[in-house]
């Protein structure tokens, strides 16, 4: 089989297509012929050895796949040859075949493409966990989303609206604002590119405050970090919840006096650890997502596709924060 491999730490330009033996599914595993693999920000980090997990090299990045069951290992009863499946696997998805624990896979509904299936779980499962478990979002509350045109950002818009919130989407361009509006955002704002000096930071805070209204934001969803974090936190409401999701703009340092003045919470969101620690709660969330998908309340937005040999270009586009919606590699 062919795979796009990381042979040494580095950027997307270090990835190369190589031939590997076909994997064999072990006990409790399924061999999936990968048809599509979505690109997410962890793929940027994992090839540079900057992610929480550092797999032994050589390895293929790509943690979110959809494909067809080609073989099943001992003890697997829930899947059969030819079944269409999707799942989040951590890494290994930018390869023509991958052996996956059956518990990580879900049936891909009829009528849904492999590209859609590969683009669903990581962003939406992260976001439903963030909004409900960590943010305690309720109908009628105001949700401010940073980086709102990326994969998790658009998922947050759709889920925020599905849960009855007023959604304010913050993005870095008018093109991204249009994508946010198309996903259902009630209001959009375009912020400038960081870094910010003190005056620029204050001005951005005032922009956030004007957008969310005088009561402030009940929940802030931040998959961006960097210089955007403090201005957003200053726009939070009394007893609001600030959700820390990611740091493509850098890891911020927040003045903790703001949490005292607003009696607010700063909450970390680590979906992978949550899913491992509480698989039943995660399973309930995934079932909720499949219902919303069937009802048309959420829909992964695949905006660009790439061939396997061009997977590095997709990761580079993600690293440059140029992606709108989901980027998907068509593996085979």
Tokens describing residue 301: 């937005």
Q: How far apart are CA 141 and CA 104, in angstroms?
A: 33
Q: How confident is the model at residue 70 (pLDDT cuts 50, 70, 90)?
A: very high
Q: Indicate if the pLDDT at residue 174 is higher than 90.
A: yes
Distance CA 175, CA 181 (A): 10
Angle at CA of residue 231, ends 216 and 156, nearest 5°:
65
Q: What's the DSSP call for residue 129?
A: I
Q: Is residue 288 one of the residues assigned to a domain?
A: no
pLDDT value at residue 312: 96
Q: Which pLDDT does position 52 carry in this prediction?
A: 83
Same domain, 163 and 214: yes
Say whether both 57 and 68 belong to one domain: yes
Q: What pLDDT, on the 0 to 100 scale, is given for residue 53?
A: 85
Predicted confidence band of residue 39 (pLDDT cuts 50, 70, 90): very high
Q: Is the pLDDT of residue 75 over 90?
A: yes
- In the structure, what pLDDT confidence band is assigned to residue 236 with cuts at 50, 70 and 90? very high
Region 192-196: mean pLDDT is 93
Determine contact, residues 76/29, Cβ cutoff 8 Å: yes
Same-domain pairing of 160 and 112:
no
Whether cis (ω within 30° of 0) applies to the bond prior to 321 is no
Please state, in angstroms and rounded to a whole number, the distance separating the CA atoms of residues 276 and 225: 25
Residue-averaged pLDDT of the chain: 96
In a shared domain, residues 210 and 133: yes
What is d(CA 286, CA 154) in angstroms, rounded to the nearest whole number?
A: 17
Question: Given pLDDT bands bounded at 50, 70 and 90, which one contains residue 321?
Answer: confident
| Contact (CB, 8 A) for 328 and 305 | yes
In this predicted structure, the answer to whether residue 123 has a pLDDT above a threshold of 90 is yes
DSSP state of 310: G
Nearest alpha carbon to residue 235 among 260, 206, 203? 206
Residues 104, 139 share a domain: no
Cα diameter, the chain:
62
Position 18 pLDDT exceeds 90: yes
- 227 pLDDT higher than 90: yes
Residue 290 belongs to some domain of the structure: no
Q: 260 lies in a domain?
A: yes
Q: pLDDT category, 51, cuts 50, 70, 90?
A: confident
Centroid of chain to Cα 116: 14
Rounded alpha-carbon distances, angstroms, from residue 281 to 105, 132, 221, 271, 292: 16, 11, 21, 11, 17
Average pLDDT over residues 287-301: 96
CA–CA gap between residue 1 and residue 3 (Å, rounded): 7
Number of H helices and number of E strands within the chain?
11, 15
- Supply the pTM of this predicted model: 0.93
> For residue 315, what are the domain limits?
2-120+301-330
Only one residue has tokens 């599509």, namely 36
Same domain, 146 and 266: yes
pLDDT in tens, 162-172: 999 999 999 99
Average pLDDT over residues 206-212: 98
Band (pLDDT 50/70/90 cuts) for residue 322 is confident
β-strand partners of 19: 2
Measured on CA atoms in the order 64, 67, 70, 74, is the torsion positive or negative?
positive
Among candidate residues 326, 325, 327, the one with its CA nearest the CA of residue 171: 325
Question: Would 143 be classed as within a structural domain?
Answer: yes
What is the CATH number for 32? 3.90.180.10
């Amino acid at each position: 089989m062919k795979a796009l491999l990381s042979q040494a730490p580095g950027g997307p330009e270090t990835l190369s297509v190589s031939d590997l033996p076909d994997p064999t599914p072990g006990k409790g595993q399924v061999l999936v012929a990968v048809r599509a693999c979505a690109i997410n920000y962890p793929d940027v980090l994992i090839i540079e050895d900057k992610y929480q997990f550092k797999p032994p090299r050589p390895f293929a990045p790509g943690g979110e796949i959809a494909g067809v069951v080609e073989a099943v290992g001992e003890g697997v009863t829930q899947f059969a040859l030819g079944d269409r499946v999707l799942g989040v696997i951590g890494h290994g998805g930018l390869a023509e075949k991958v052996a996956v624990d059956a518990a990580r896979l879900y049936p891909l509904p009829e009528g849904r493409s492999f590209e859609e299936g590969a683009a669903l779980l990581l962003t939406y499962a992260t976001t439903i966990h963030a909004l409900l478990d960590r943010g305690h979002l309720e109908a009628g509350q105001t949700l401010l989303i940073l980086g709102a045109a990326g994969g998790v950002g658009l998922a947050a818009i759709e889920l925020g609206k599905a849960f009855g919130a007023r959604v304010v989407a913050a993005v870095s361009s008018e093109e991204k604002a249009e994508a946010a509006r198309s996903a259902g955002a009630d209001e959009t704002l375009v912020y400038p590119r960081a870094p910010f000096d003190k005056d620029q930071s204050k001005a951005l805070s005032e922009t956030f405050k004007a957008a969310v209204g005088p009561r402030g934001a009940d929940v802030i969803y931040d998959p961006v970090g960097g210089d955007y974090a403090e201005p957003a936190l200053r726009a939070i409401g009394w007893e609001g919840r600030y959700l820390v999701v990611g740091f493509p703009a850098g890891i911020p340092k927040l003045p903790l006096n703001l949490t005292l003045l607003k009696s607010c919470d700063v909450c970390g969101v680590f979906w992978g650890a949550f899913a491992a620690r509480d698989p039943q709660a995660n399973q309930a969330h995934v079932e909720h997502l499949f219902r919303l998908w069937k009802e048309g309340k959420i829909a992964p937005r695949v905006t660009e596709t790439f061939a396997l040999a061009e997977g590095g270009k997709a990761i580079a586009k993600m690293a440059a924060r140029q992606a709108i919606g989901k980027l998907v590699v068509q593996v085979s």
